[in-house]
Amino acid sequence: MCGIAGILTPSIDLRSEKPLIESISKTLKMRGPDAKGEYVTAQTALIHRRLCVIDVEKGSQPMRFGKYIIVYNGELYNTQQVKAELETFGYKFDTHCDTEVVLKAYDKWQEESVKKLNGIFAYAVYNERDNSLFLARDRIGVKPCFYSKKGDLFAFASRISSLLCIPQIKPIVDIEGLNEIFMLGPAKTIGKAIFKDISELPPAHFLKYKDGKATVLQYWKLEAKENNESLNEAIEHTHELVKNSIERQLVSDVPLATFLSGGLDSSIISKVAADYYKNKGKILNTYSVDYTDNDKFFKKSLFQPNKDSDYISLVSDAIGSIHHNIILDNSSVADALFEATVARCVPGFADVDSSLLLFCREVKKNFTVCLSGECADEIFGGYPWYHRKEILFEECFPWARSTKARRSILKPGFLKNGEEYLQNAYSQTVALTSYLDGESPLEKRMREMFMLNLNWFMQTLLARKDVMSMESSLEVRVPFCDYRLVEYAYNMPWEFKALDGREKGILRKAFENDLPYDIVWRKKSPYPKTHNPLYFDCVCRLAKQAIEDKSCPLYEMLNVSAVYELMKSPDSMTEPWYGQLMQTPQVLAYIYQIYVWMKNYNVVFDI
């Protein structure tokens, strides 16, 4: 994986802007610590930082072929298939890296080439003859891509902070941005980047820029299609697609491991990877995360019915992996909230972010690539809200059904249109749903839930995984995000998906002979969070710092007395802020992250 950025402008001679180009490159260093490269002319600068994974010696960027120059961030999982097709047209290859394949595919098929790619990516191809740019992002949105157009300047980057290095691009936030933070956060609307001057290239879209005009087009979307498979065929098909996706993503020229929580998704990935390694005479390494004294303070809940630690060794022993359990210090998790916020460039996911950042740093000491289980819950109906009929048909985001908790910390009258903004975001997503004629209300609603989870909950988790792992210079791949699997799951009948009345029922059935019974039929448990009261004390201290700084604009936005009330008990917030992952300690951490973001990026408010 890598970091990319670029500037196109006719009004500045970029050859004389070496300090600017260097400052942008530095913001991308952790995404690519192994090498850097630049292509600079009077009107164009392309910047690349490289984390070497495939063809370490020959895959340097920017890479040129004829009139085209590419900067690429990602991993292609059908490299050999696309390469073989190109070779039938006479193309020859000097490397075995996917960058060269993406570049020559563009030379051959232009914008249609992106449809041939299976992988996670964001890349730009510059045409130096007509001074045009093609910018593309993968179908699911695993790899980030942001851009800004200010007058005759166009810029793009893997990180928001890279764009904020450019003097013309200002850290301005308007009412829309504040609604994103307080009404939707830590989620955000696809296409938005909180800052007024910056946009996100949506997943499954590409952008064409020429002569000062930027055009954004969609190249892929989920469409409802008939699925006439029998149950046994669907079980076999699910197993085949999942296994194939995992095995495709095990290709690496550097050490690779898997994340293992003891849950179904990571256990499937680790099992397939372990078998793959055994066939090559290797032993898989697996990693899990926990917190100091977490067993002592664990609290059972609807969303977290059991501890991961009870199951991890069961899987590791069964698959024969070398397992590493990383124990995080609670104070360190709180302290890392600052760095996690700066890395994300917007208010983040509280300790769900900071703990992953610290975890990835430990893994990076021995490995450069890991596989992780994100996306399975979204596409196979893993979350409780898929199965609770009393909330299933409510016209709202199921993980944030009320704004009561959010309103409680805001000053009365602040963001008066917040609920309308929230409802519009929900409605616009549901409107994207594709149905089949004659489908039952339940099947239609499950398609809507699929779209809501894919475009919101999963995007939040993917952004978190990319930023925190890449801030640690660790590449994390997500096999359940293979678009073929997403398409297939979208068109699977709900009675199959929820086989035996269980969340991810068909996925369990497909792999019941591969894993121990207790793992296959374990109740879903989310990413582990700390239950230690020490962490709550730490975030109370940090939140207190945030709300007592009268020089920060946040002070005028919050109901300070209400925030103090939250500090009285880790259970004081009775409604979830954002699904199962944000309760009172995480909300206090989120308030602190908003404060850090405002101060660190010198945010200016246009309200």
Which residues are designated catalytic?
A: 2
CA pair distance 170, 163, nearest whole angstrom? 9
Cα–Cα distance measured from residue 368 to residue 346, given in angstroms and rounded to the nearest whole number? 26
* CA–CA gap between residue 202 and residue 146 (Å, rounded): 9
3-state secondary structure of 209: strand
Residue 514 amino acid letter = D
Q: Provide the residue type at 323 as one letter.
A: H
Please count the residues of the chain.
607
Q: Which residues does 470 contact at the CB level (< 8 Å), separation at least 6? A: 1, 3, 30, 31, 51
Helix, coil or strand: residue 133: strand
Q: How far apart are CA 436 and CA 493, in angstroms?
A: 12
CA distances from residue 67 to 4, 70, 189, 215 in whole angstroms, order as listed: 19, 10, 36, 21
54 neighbors 37 (Cβ within 8 angstroms): no
| Rounded Cα distance, 502 and 381, in Å | 9
Q: How far apart are CA 49 and CA 157, in angstroms?
A: 11
Token match 């990935």: residue? 269
CB atoms within 10 A of CB 416: 10
Phi, psi of 47, deg, nearest 5: -125, 135
| Six-digit token string for 319 | 């698959």
Distance CA 179, CA 187 (A): 11
The pair of structure tokens assigned to 32 is: 């690519």
Largest CA distance in the chain: 70
DSSP structural state of residue 482: -
Q: 128: exposed, middle or buried (C-beta count within 10 Å: 0-12, 13-18, 19+)?
A: middle
Nearest to 248 by CA among 54, 378, 105, 60: 54
Beta bridge partners of 410: 558
List the structure tokens of 305.
């019915």
Bond before 398 cis per omega within 30 degrees = no
Dihedral (CA of 133, 134, 137, 143) sign: negative
